[in-house]
Amino acid sequence: MDYAYTLWILTLPVAMFLTIGLSGDRLKSNAAGILGTAGLAVIAALSWFTAFSYFGSGLPESGFQPVIAAQTTWLAFTETLVIHLGILLDPLSVMMLVVITTVSLMVHIYSLGYMHGERGYNRYYAFLSLFTFSMLGLVVATNIFQMYIFWELVGVSSYLLIGFYYEKPSAVAAAKKAFIVTRFADLGFLIGILLLSFNTGTFDFAALNDMSGSAIAQPVTTVFMGLSVSTWAMLLIFMGGAGKSAMFPLHIWLPDAMEGPTPVSALIHAATMVVAGVYLVARLFPVYHFAAPDSLEVIAWVGSFTSLFAAVIACTQLDIKRVLAFSTLSQIGYMMVALGVSGYGDEGVGYMASLFHLFTHAFFKALLFLGAGSVIHAVHSNLMTDMGGLRKYMPLTHLTFLIACLTIAGVPPLSGFFSKDEILVAAFEHNKVIFAVQWFVAGLTAFYMFRLYFNIFWNSDPHYHHTPHESPPTMTGPLLFLAAASVLAGFVPFHDFVTTDGKPLETEFHTLVAVPSVLIGLAGIALAWWMYARKNSRPESVAQTLHGLYSAAFRKFYIDELYLFITHQLIFRFISRPVAWFDRHIVDGTMNLIGNTTVSVSVAIKKMQSGELQWYIWYFTSGVLVLTLILLYLN
Amino acid sequence: MNPLLYLLIIPGLTVAGITLVKDMKQVRLVAAVGMSLQLLWSFVLLYWFYQLRAAGHTEEMLFVSSTTWYEAFNIQYKFGVDGVSMAMILLTSIVTFAGIFASWQVAVLTREFFISLIILAGGVFGFFISLDLFTMFLFYEVAVIPMYLLIGIWGSGPKEYSAMKLTLMLMGGSALLMVGLLGIYFNSAPDGGPLTFDLTEIARIHIPRDAQLFFFPFTFVGFGILGALFPFHTWSPDGHASAPTAVSMLHAGVLMKLGGYGCFRVAMYLMPEAAHELAWIFLILTTISVVYGAFGAIWQKDLKYINAYSSVSHCGLVLFALLMMNETATTGAILQMISHGLMTALFFALIGMIYGRTHTRMIHEMGGLMKVIPFLSVVYVIAGLASLGLPGLSGFVAEMTIFVGSFQHTDTFHRVATLVAASSIVITAVYILRVVGVLLLGPVKNEHFHELKDALWFEKLSGVTLVVSIAAIGLAPLWLSNLIREPLGQMLHHLIN
């Protein structure tokens, strides 16, 4: 099969970015939107075509094999450490192509309505194209350095889009925070890459993931601070992934990132970029599994803690986008857990489940965000206290939002049920504590999602200034499409396609896991209904009973304050300011001192060159006298 | 005639032309034409260079010619280039070209300004093509002296103080350098025979170890002062802050590169044993430079100071990488010189243009410029992204090459130094995004800013030239990396064994 046409998947978004970006205001804003959307439709079609031809070509005996569709040398560091830019097609990357382009297309269409009449409409579409390019380049990377390159590019696209409303100080601050936190994580990623590549002599995924080679066996022997070098390398690489995927304690940027336009939150901060960390671990899974199993354990616990931590916070937030942001953290936590508990080959249920959840989550979380966008568009507020009773005014948004909530709550037979169930099965077989946590979080998830749902669409009507109305078809169309995808995605025979070794995986249905997880989900929904379906005093009394926990969760457990303290008080005041002072007063002071001393010495001795003869004779005779005395003394 | 000589003749003729024409408009026209020709000629030379290499000319240096200047001391006008100097020539001509257009509106003593500027550039070209230590030193001085006049006359703020400080510190460096160069000269014939200043000749002989250990620090620090080596960098913030736009551009963009180039080509290449033995001292100093400059930049409030400290950090990385003494890191060092040269020139050009409009360089007095002068602001963001090492722009290529190269050392000392230096990528992001946030984004702070005009054609030309160069290197770095790497194998072989 010749996949050379996949190059268009990468070149088209660049072309769109340059066309829309460079033409500036010369391009009519509608034209920019339509051009961007049409371009993305072509890219999505190409991706779907690629998926059909890749998976449709029939399963070979040895499982699906990676294909390098195109490759060129970008930069050579040494003989062996060479950065290639290329396109790698394997089940993982092909699946990601489909997810990214589909969600991106929906977001492009949706934005035609949502962003209509905004200042900087062209800029918006240019940045979206840049993001799409970066994200696609990331998933088709043939080597870890290419991935790092595009990783940084998605980071900057995210920065630009979060700060889209650049006249708003909070948006500027959020963008900066997102970039710097992920940059800090990327430093770990970079050092991890350096360690890994130095010890294996290659950047290529094919060589790294090749277990038969000795590439990854050798560094295991070197030990540093109790952990093998390969564990260090893989943990540092995970740090990069944790930054991008907003795992605790690097999660602080994601809730703030909601300052960006809502469709951007749907695309970047829910469906695609934030799962890049999961993708990264999945991409290097053989290395993790065979060379650094300890780090997988860390990943599982980090994921598990984040999912619980974020779910608790989500129960208390009032800004609907922030609730969704914490929900995203929690769901990505699930994906990390699944990877962490996974084995290889026949035991690779976790790996499959993680990516399956990534796949379904992309659709239902994008749907939730776009639905929230539709609501915000109608009531001009992000706060759920300004909402209520909207089911009457916005029937389509209501219907699709309900579907999404049921999906994320894990109600069968919607897609979220299948993927979450697989994760719970994998966790159950690996570690009962993690399983228990994830089971509990499933209940919390159902609770906070329906808290959101009831507060927006039921509860009491807060007397709107303008009667809210349903969004235009450009917005409801994508909602309906994504709702359909959320319902149906669970029936994709995912375990036949995306597995650790490319071979189909046998999965069983565990009644022991499925039934309790559905039950706790329903319990969460019921509790939310009891508290929020109608206006009553129950939420306040619950909040008062759980006073300490509630206010801590409401303030996001003070992690932001902690960071602020570290950066502003410690780094800025205790490092940066003294450095600046030291430079001006000590280093530069010394230089000035040398200069000033020279000048004052010169002032002091210049009187000797007075031109007055009697003084010169005086100096001369005293000199002779002194010399004579010295000579006499020496003799 | 040696085609390299045109790099000196063109500036010479341009200066002559400027003295002949009548008014300001003609002066800058002549300057622009001259420096455009210079840029064109650099590209011709590059093409020619490739052709010769392709045709199988594998000599160390190409376009070599030699004329006796002063026979008694065996001083020669000896010229020649390899891939590294070719790259530096390209950098110099691009920055000079952009600098001419950035100073399009200098109205005071225009003629004298352009003459000094072009003499300065000519000195730099002469330095990069020289293969004789004495003439190299001569051109070095030619480049440094006009700086005093340019800052002292056309500068701003405490310009006399800054000009004096900068010149004296660099002259101090020259004094050390003179000692070092004479030391090399008097040890250039350990087995008897005529002494020589010829760089390629000296590289072939072995300077006695004691002499190396004595003269290496003089030479390295002498050049290092120009390359903003901690703690001899303090001429840079004051000097840059007072210098007029084009002078800052040329100074940070090109002149500071003379330091790094000299450290490598003269100090380390000619005294390899001393370089090996003393590298650790300078490695500590440069590692400090990298982080110290970055932290220093966070606290600054004046745009030029921010950029000056950022230059200390970035130029520190150049010397840091050179001291790693392997092919990859050294390639990275040269790439970093070029990358930093282009982006810092761009920064200073933009700062000059913004200052020309808002009449302040204090970031807190500005805000929301993106809305009122979008072109300049977007270019500023691009420069910032290049500076913080965004892939697709030149900074990333240079930094990654440096880090991968430095990481080839397995001992703890080099590893720790590399990790500390690498952490600067985060600090850089902090100060760059802080400036972008305060200066360009947010609401427009000053009512009067709404009346500001965006970039004029010559400003756009200047900015776009640099942006295109930065992006060209960032998108397709392989050709440049190969050009630089090609002579390094041989040079480092000499250095390592």
Residue B73's nearest CA partner among B154, B5, B134 is B134
Q: Which of A82, A84, A130, A183 to mutate to test the interface with B (most CBs of B within 10 A)?
A: A183
**Alpha carbon distance A365, A393 (integer Å):** 23
Q: Which residues of B touch A590 (CB under 8 A)?
A: 231
Contact B478 A76 (CB under 8 A): yes
- Retrieve residue A358's tokens: 């990534």
Contact B368 A198 (CB under 8 A): no
**Interchain CB contact of A187 with B (< 8 Å):** yes
**Alpha carbon distance B182, B440 (integer Å):** 51
Q: Rounded to a whole number, what is the distance in Å from the CA of A179 to chain B's nearest CA?
A: 8
Q: Which residues of A touch B418 (CB under 8 A)?
A: 194
Q: Which residues of A touch B328 (CB under 8 A)?
A: 77-78, 81
Q: Which run of H or E residues covers position A82?
A: strand A82-89
Chain A 542-601, residues with CB within 8 Å of chain B CB atoms: 572, 575-577, 579-580, 583, 587-588, 590-592, 595
Q: Which residues of B touch A75 (CB under 8 A)?
A: 397, 400-401, 477-478, 481
Q: What is the pLDDT of residues A91-148, one digit of tens each?
A: 889 999 999 999 999 999 998 888 887 788 888 888 999 999 999 999 999 999 999 9
**Alpha carbon distance A440, B56 (integer Å):** 72
**Interchain CB contact of A172 with B (< 8 Å):** yes
Could you tell me which residue, A58 or B390, shows the higher pLDDT?
A: B390
pLDDT for A273 beyond 80: yes
Neighbours of A294 (CB within 10 A): 14
**Alpha carbon distance A228, A233 (integer Å):** 9
Burial of B481 (0-12, 13-18, 19+ CB in 10 A): buried
**Alpha carbon distance A118, A98 (integer Å):** 29
Of A77, A153, A575, the CB nearest to B328: A77
A599 φ, ψ (degrees, to nearest 5): -65, -45
What is the value of pTM for the model shown?
0.91
**Alpha carbon distance A563, A561 (integer Å):** 5
Contact B430 A76 (CB under 8 A): no
**Alpha carbon distance A624, A618 (integer Å):** 10
Q: Rounded to a whole number, what is the distance in Å from the CA of B438 to chain A's nearest CA?
A: 9
Chain A 111-150, residues with CB within 8 Å of chain B CB atoms: 145, 148-150
Of A149, A198, A580, the CB nearest to B407: A198
CB B313 within 8 A of CB B428: yes
Contact A595 B481 (CB under 8 A): no
Cα angle A430, A431, A433; round to 5: 160
Q: What is the pLDDT of residues A401-452, one digit of tens each?
A: 999 999 998 888 888 888 888 888 888 888 889 899 999 999 999 999 998 8
Q: Rounded to a whole number, what is the distance in Å from the CA of A488 to chain B's nearest CA?
A: 39
Q: How far is CA A205 from CA A86, A323, B175, in A?
A: 12, 36, 53
> Given the structure tokens 């905004």, which residue do they identify?
A118
Contact A187 B422 (CB under 8 A): yes
Query: CA-nearest residue of chain B to A148?
Result: B391
Contact B401 A77 (CB under 8 A): yes
Contact B391 A153 (CB under 8 A): yes
**How many helical (H) and strand (E) elements, i.e. helices and strands, does chain B have?**
22, 2
**Alpha carbon distance A429, A451 (integer Å):** 32
The winner for highest mean pLDDT among A31-35, A578-582, B281-285 is B281-285
Q: Which of A11, A22, A74, A75 to mutate to test the interface with B (most CBs of B within 10 A)?
A: A75
Q: How far is CA B427 from CA A47, A172, B405, B420, in A?
A: 39, 18, 21, 11
Every domain of chain B and the residues it spans: 3-496
**Alpha carbon distance A506, A40 (integer Å):** 36
Q: Which residues of A touch B292 (CB under 8 A)?
A: 579, 583
Query: CA-nearest residue of chain A to B162?
Result: A592
**Alpha carbon distance A36, A28 (integer Å):** 12
- Retrieve residue A426's tokens: 């994998």
Q: Rounded to a whole number, what is the distance in Å from the CA of B237 to chain A's nearest CA?
A: 10
**Interchain CB contact of A224 with B (< 8 Å):** no
- Retrieve residue A395's tokens: 């029937």
Contact B292 A576 (CB under 8 A): no
Q: Are strands B62-70 and B75-81 parallel, antiparallel or unpaired?
A: antiparallel
Residue A182's nearest CA partner among A209, A166, A159, A201 is A159
pLDDT for A216 beyond 70: no
Contact A183 B327 (CB under 8 A): no
Q: Which residues of B touch A225 (CB under 8 A)?
A: none
Burial of B26 (0-12, 13-18, 19+ CB in 10 A): middle
A499 φ, ψ (degrees, to nearest 5): -135, 175
Of A75, A194, A577, the CB nearest to B397: A75
Neighbours of A45 (CB within 10 A): 12
Mapping DSSP to helix (H, G, I), strand (E, B) and coil, where does residue A108 land? helix
Residue A418's nearest CA partner among A288, A551, A513, A317 is A513
Give me the helix-helix angle, A229-244 and A276-283, nearest 10°: 150
Of B230, B295, B477, the CB nearest to A75: B477
CB A482 within 8 A of CB A367: yes
Cis peptide before B158 (omega within 30 of 0): no
Mapping DSSP to helix (H, G, I), strand (E, B) and coil, where does residue A536 land? coil
Q: Rounded to a whole number, what is the distance in Å from the CA of B233 to chain A's nearest CA?
A: 9
Q: What is the pLDDT of residues A326-359, one digit of tens each?
A: 999 999 999 999 999 988 878 888 898 899 999 9
- Retrieve residue A98's tokens: 């489909």
Contact A163 B441 (CB under 8 A): yes
CB A13 within 8 A of CB A129: yes
Q: Rounded to a whole number, what is the distance in Å from the CA of B441 to chain A's nearest CA?
A: 5
Q: Which run of H or E residues covers position A15?
A: helix A7-23
Neighbours of B5 (CB within 10 A): 16
pLDDT for A591 beyond 50: yes
Chain A 38-77, residues with CB within 8 Å of chain B CB atoms: 73-77
Among positive and negative, which fits the CA dihedral B136, B138, B139, B141? positive
Q: Which of A135, A571, A591 to mutate to test the interface with B (most CBs of B within 10 A)?
A: A591
Per mean pLDDT, which range of A26-35, A132-141, A177-186 is the poorest?
Answer: A26-35
What pLDDT sits at residue A214?
47
DSSP A344: S
Contact A194 B425 (CB under 8 A): no
Q: Which residues of A touch B478 (CB under 8 A)?
A: 73-76
CB B101 within 8 A of CB B459: yes
Q: Rounded to a whole number, what is the distance in Å from the CA of A116 to chain B's nearest CA?
A: 20
Q: Rounded to a whole number, what is the distance in Å from the CA of A78 to chain B's nearest CA?
A: 7
Q: Rounded to a whole number, what is the distance in Å from the CA of B432 to chain A's nearest CA?
A: 10
Query: CA-nearest residue of chain B to A576?
Result: B295
Q: Are strands A82-89 and A67-76 parallel, antiparallel or unpaired?
A: antiparallel
b/e sequence A167-181, b meaning 16+ C-beta within 10 Å: eeeebbbbbbbbbbb
Q: How many CB pairs under 8 A join A and B?
A: 126
Mapping DSSP to helix (H, G, I), strand (E, B) and coil, where does residue A381 land? coil
Residue B379's nearest CA partner among B468, B477, B446 is B468
Cis peptide before A66 (omega within 30 of 0): no
Q: Which of A144, A576, A594, A597 to mutate to test the interface with B (most CBs of B within 10 A)?
A: A576
pLDDT for A221 beyond 70: no
Contact B478 A591 (CB under 8 A): no
The residue ranges of chain B whose pLDDT is under 50 are none
Count of residues making up chain A: 635
Q: Which residues of B touch A577 (CB under 8 A)?
A: 299
Q: What is the pLDDT of residues B432-451, one digit of tens each?
A: 998 988 888 888 887 887 88
Contact A595 B168 (CB under 8 A): yes
